[in-house]
Amino acid sequence: MTGVRAPLRIGMIGHAFMGAAHSYGWRNAARVFDLPFEPELRVLAGTDLGRATDAARRLGWAEAADDWRDLVERSDVDVIDICTPGDLHRPIALAALRAGKHVLCEKPLANTAAEADEMVAAAAEAEARGIQAMCGFTYRRQPAVALAHRLIAEGRIGDIRHIRVRYLQDWLSDPEAPYTWRLDAARSGSGSLGDLGAHAVDLAQWLTGERITGVTARTRRFVPRRPLLDGGTGEVTVDDAAHAIVEFRSGLLGTFEVTRYALGRKNAFAVEVNGSTGSLAWDFERNNELLHYRGDEGALSGFTTVLATHEEHPYVAAWWPEGHTLGYDAGFVNQAADFVRAIADGRRPEPSFADAAQVQRVLDAVETSEETRGWEAVLTEKERMR
Q: How far apart, in Å, do the first and last CA atoms of the chain sit?
A: 50
Least confident range of 86-95, 143-152, 374-383 = 374-383
Q: Is the pLDDT of residue 379 over 90?
A: no
Q: Is the pLDDT of residue 384 over 80?
A: no
* Cβ atoms 372, 211 nearer than 8 A: no
- CA separation for the pair 61, 57 (Å, rounded): 6
Q: Give the model's confidence band at 44: pLDDT under 50 very low, under 70 low, under 90 confident, else very high.
A: very high
Rounded mean pLDDT, 178-192:
97
Instruction: Give per-residue pLDDT as tens, 105-125.
Output: 999 999 999 999 999 999 999
Q: Give the model's confidence band at 1: pLDDT under 50 very low, under 70 low, under 90 confident, else very high.
A: very low
* Cβ atoms 136, 356 nearer than 8 A: no
Instruction: Give the CB-side neighbour count of residue 234, counting CA atoms within 13 A.
Output: 17
Amino acid letter, 40: E
pTM here is 0.96
User: Which of 269, 239, 274, 278 minimizes the C-alpha distance to 254?
Assistant: 274
Beta bridge partners of 225: 235
Give the model's pLDDT for residue 3. 63
Phi, psi of 107 (to 5 degrees): -85, 160
Least confident range of 50-54, 60-64, 297-301 = 297-301
Give the model's pLDDT for residue 4. 77
Rounded mean pLDDT, 272-293:
97
CATH of domain 143-324: 3.30.360.10
Who contacts 38 (Cβ-Cβ below 8 Å, separation ≥6)? 5, 6, 7, 8, 30
Least confident range of 143-157, 203-217, 290-304, 325-339 = 290-304
> What are the sequence ranges of the domains in the chain?
6-138, 143-324
Output the CA torsion 64→67→71→73 (10° steps).
-140
6-138 belongs to CATH 3.40.50.1370: no
Q: Is the pLDDT of residue 2 over 80?
A: no
Considering all CA atoms of the chain, what is the largest pairwise distance in Å, rounded to the nearest integer? 66
Rounded mean pLDDT, 210-234:
97
User: Side by side, which strands form the sheet with 376-377?
Assistant: 303-307, 289-293, 279-283, 268-275, 160-168, 253-259, 241-248, 212-220, 376-377
Phi, psi of 56 (to 5 degrees): -60, -40
Give the model's pLDDT for residue 205. 98
Instruction: Give per-residue pLDDT as tens, 54-93.
Output: 999 999 999 999 999 999 999 999 999 999 999 999 999 9
Least confident range of 193-202, 216-225, 288-297 = 288-297
CA 382 to chain centre: 24
Helical ranges in the chain per DSSP H: 17-32, 49-59, 68-73, 89-98, 113-127, 143-153, 185-188, 192, 198-208, 328-345, 353-372, 381-385
Q: How big is the CA angle at 360 (ends 358 and 362), to the nearest 5 degrees?
A: 75
Rounded mean pLDDT, 158-164:
97
* Cβ atoms 219, 241 nearer than 8 A: yes
Who contacts 75 (Cβ-Cβ below 8 Å, separation ≥6)? none
- CA separation for the pair 361, 352 (Å, rounded): 15
- Taken in order 49, 55, 58, 63, the sign of the CA dihedral is negative
Beta bridge partners of 272: 164, 281
* Cβ atoms 46, 55 nearer than 8 A: yes
* Cβ atoms 107, 198 nearer than 8 A: yes
Instruction: Give per-residue pLDDT as tens, 301-333.
Output: 899 999 999 999 999 999 999 999 999 999 999
